[in-house]
Amino acid sequence: MIGLVLRRLAGLVLTLVAVSALIFAVMNILPGDAAAIMLGTSASEDTLAALRSELGLDRPVVWRYLAWIAGALHGDFGRSYTYGVPVSELIGERLSLTLPLAGIALVLSVLVSVPLGVAAAARRRGIIDGLATLFAQMSVAMPAFWVAILLIILFSVQGGWLPAGGFPGWQVGFWPALKALILPSVALALPQAGVLTRVTRGAVLDVMHEDFARTARAKGISRRVTLWRHVLPNAAGPIVTVLGLQFTFLVAGAVLIENVFSLPGLGRLAYQALAQRDIVVMQAVVLLLSGLVIVVNFLVDLLQMRLDPRLRATPA
């Protein structure tokens, strides 16, 4: 177990170093000069040079990369060219929105799809199964940003119950901030819920026909108890795997939804940093996301082991 954790940790560090070098190289190959973008089309050459030296852009690439690594080891990820604030502060602010948003969306998606998937599998080809299939297909087929616009029209423009977008920050209070996250998390959760319903249904169906499930029924255990106590835990493997993938997608890939709701999330920060050639921000965001993917995958593996004793057996 400890060996596994150490191996994963080493993998994490190696991946991060490789990713950071790659990003640095790519961002330097990309055409565009952060100083020219900031100073516009009337700036004279000496002004551009002054800004480049202020931002440290006049140094060689390798020097900048090593300096960045040295800083990162001290927890200093540099300062955003565009915002002028430390990158760690900027990303912290974005995470205070993105993580709760992804979390709520994930919980919503699980709350809807797991019961629905189990119920659909329990009565295969029944009414619930039909409805679940319809729901799954529709929610996957409808583009999330389109659903988002629909939600805004219904709940903000017509109803006036929820804000049409924006995020006031947690400092204004829990409820106003949470209110701003309700519609976006629903829009994000819907397609995920569709996928998860299908996965749950399929996994439960597979397990339901195995011998132990039939034995449980034969022993006289009720259908419901068999389903929830015996079948679902055994079907949990694929569900947890998909959940892990979905969480990383929700953190990194919510940019379209963030745009429709004009939420200051991590996805939009990455997009903006790319457009402005804000290399240090780009660097930190990509590293964070790579790290997150690795950590979440690791957690999923751990959870799988917890769920399935067979995976725990150490090979001799």
Partner 1 sequence: MKIPGLVLSLALAISSLTAPAEAAPRTDIVLGMGIEPAGLDPTIAAPVAIGQVTWQNVFEGLVTIDRDGKIRPQLAESWEISPDGLTYTFKLRQNVAFHDGSAFDSGVAKAALDRARGAQSVNPQKRFFEAVASIDTPDPQTLVLHLSRPAGSLLYWLGWPSSVIVHPKTADSNKTEPVGTGPFVFDRWVKGDRVELKRNPNYWDKSANIALDKAVFRFIADPQAQSAALVSGDVDAFPEFGAPELMSSFESDDRLTTAIGNTELKVVAGMNNAQKPFTDKRVREALMRALDRTTIIDGAWSALGTPIGSHYTPNDRAYVDLTNVYPYDPEKAKSLLKEAGYGDGLSFTIKVPQMSYATRTAEIMQTMFAEVGVTLAIEPTEFPAKWVQDVFKNRDYDMTIVAHAEPMDIDIYARDPYYFNYRNTAFDVVMTKVEATADPAEQDKLYVEAQKILAEDVPALFLFVMPKLGVWDRKLQGLWVNEPIPSNVLSEVHWQE
Question: Residues interacting with partner 1, by CB under 8 A?
Answer: 30-33, 36-44, 46-47, 50-51, 54, 82-85, 90, 93-94, 149, 152-153, 156-157, 160, 163-169, 259-265, 268-269, 272, 275-277
Q: Which residue, 168 or 233, is less far from partner 1 as judged by CB?
A: 168
Q: Which residue, 33 or 58, is less far from partner 1 as judged by CB?
A: 33
Q: Which residue, 40 or 315, is less far from partner 1 as judged by CB?
A: 40
CB of 25 to partner 1, least distance (A): 17
CB of 176 to partner 1, least distance (A): 12
Q: Which residue, 35 or 136, is less far from partner 1 as judged by CB?
A: 35
State whether the Cα torsion 193-195-199-202 is positive or negative. Answer: positive
Closest Cα partner for 20 from 294, 284, 289? 284
Q: Which residue, 177 or 245, is less far from partner 1 as judged by CB?
A: 177
CB of 281 to partner 1, least distance (A): 11
Neighbours of 257 (CB within 10 A): 24
Q: Which residue, 255 or 303, is less far from partner 1 as judged by CB?
A: 255
CB of 274 to partner 1, least distance (A): 9
Neighbours of 40 (CB within 10 A): 7
Neighbours of 30 (CB within 10 A): 11
CB of 149 to partner 1, least distance (A): 6
CB of 30 to partner 1, least distance (A): 7
C-alpha angle with apex 257: 105 to 16, nearest 5 degrees? 75
Q: Which residue, 254 or 300, is less far from partner 1 as judged by CB?
A: 254
CB of 241 to partner 1, least distance (A): 32
